[in-house]
Amino acid sequence: MANLSNRQRVVITGLGVVSPLGNTLADLTQNVFSGVSGIGRLNTPFVDELNCKIAAQAQFDPAEHFTKHTYSMLDRTSQMALHSSLEAIKDASLVIDEHLKPRMGIFLGTGMGGAHSIEEGYVRLYKEGASRLKPFTVLMSMNNAAASAVAIEHQLTGPNQTFSTACSSSAVAIGEATRLIRHGYVDVMLAGGSEALLTLGSIKAWEALRTLAEEDTDDLSASCKPFSVDRTGLVLGEGAAMLVLESYEYAVARGAKIYAEVVGYGAANDCNHITQPSVTGQSATMQAALKDSGLAAEAIQYINTHGTGTKLNDVTETNAIKKVFGAHAYDLSVSSTKSMHGHLMGAAGALETIITTMALQNNQLPPTINLKHPDPECDLDYVPNIAKKLANFEYAMSNSFAFGGTGAALILKKIN
């Protein structure tokens, strides 16, 4: 068991999102627990050049939120990160004064950073024959651009770091931010992720990897089918999610509302294969989170799974859960909300942590939609198709696993 006696408690006090299921916390929550799909035909000029024409797009227009001077110097990844940070701080009713600025920072996760800016540069050079690029191309496309934009906006002079561990990036960012607060380096952190990969080049690269879902010919919105025997792959999504994390002491002193407490964080690398997950690595991640929390496995009541909808991942994660939780695995409820919002890559872990937080708040479990034909190898309770209530709901886990092998798991506790 972890030594919990000499560390600060860490709580969640603010939440902000840009997502395929809405750009406010209220819309996201309503749609997730109603089983609404944000997946559909990709609305871009280049869609007919693609084999895979479906995605989970965020309906986000930066012109509605920022001046042209601001958004024209930011890649879409940074635009969404900045907006979600503003929403999270507003939700937390947090005043960032001169005392707080050096005691607050940002940890942000992203898989590919400014993909839109990189693609625009290639188009200008190789398709349009331009001899020069926009002066801000480097500054818009670098991986730490989003975190830097957020830090500058809020004048945060505390730690500013970007984590890039593919699909687990933002879960790692939240976990590492939690550690900073626990040990007294800061009082408050913004932590989360942002990703905007819906460009021609990015999607073509994913097509080549052959992991994208086939279109459901009867219903495009049902194309992502985690844990279903007829699942065919993942659906790319875009968006951003940001959490305000605070020491419990700081939050109570300022009278903040508290959504949940982060009681456990674990990270591990499976060192198996660059794309193929392993039961050993995924189980080690969950076990590390449990050890960090000081909880017995039987305390966990719900897991928001990584649940991508690929053949290999869903069986691997199911077996890893069984390895960690034993007989209790069959008492757990687990679900994949990627069935609704797609895979936000570097932002996925943060969005799913927010959804897990709202599950605790509402005593309700989000469903895995499109689960009409369960895979016999996936034999847990995946909350099929319809959300369900859970009485005495206190502890939940959120899993994030990634190409490259880095996994992260977060354990949240409801604050009554």
Q: Measuring CA to CA, which residue among 183, 151, 194, 181 is closest to residue 261? A: 181
User: Choosing from 83, 154, 341, 343, which is the catalytic residue?
Assistant: 343
Active site residue 52: no
Structure tokens at 284: 């080690």
Residue 363 CB neighbour total at 10 angstroms: 14
For strand 188-195 and strand 239-247, is the pairing parallel, antiparallel, or unpaired? antiparallel
CA-based Rg of the chain, rounded to a whole angstrom?
20
Active site residue 306: yes
H-state helical runs in 34-94: 68-71, 76-92
Structure tokens at 42: 């990709």
Active site residue 328: no
For strand 160-163 and strand 104-109, is the pairing parallel, antiparallel, or unpaired? parallel
Instruction: Residue count of the chain, please give it.
Output: 416
Distance of CA 401 to the CA centre of its chain: 11
Residue 210 CB neighbour total at 10 angstroms: 7
User: Choosing from 83, 116, 306, 341, which is the catalytic residue?
Assistant: 306
Residue that has been written with the tokens 């050096």 in this structure: 102
User: Choosing from 167, 224, 341, 378, which is the catalytic residue?
Assistant: 167
Active-site residue list: 167, 306, 343
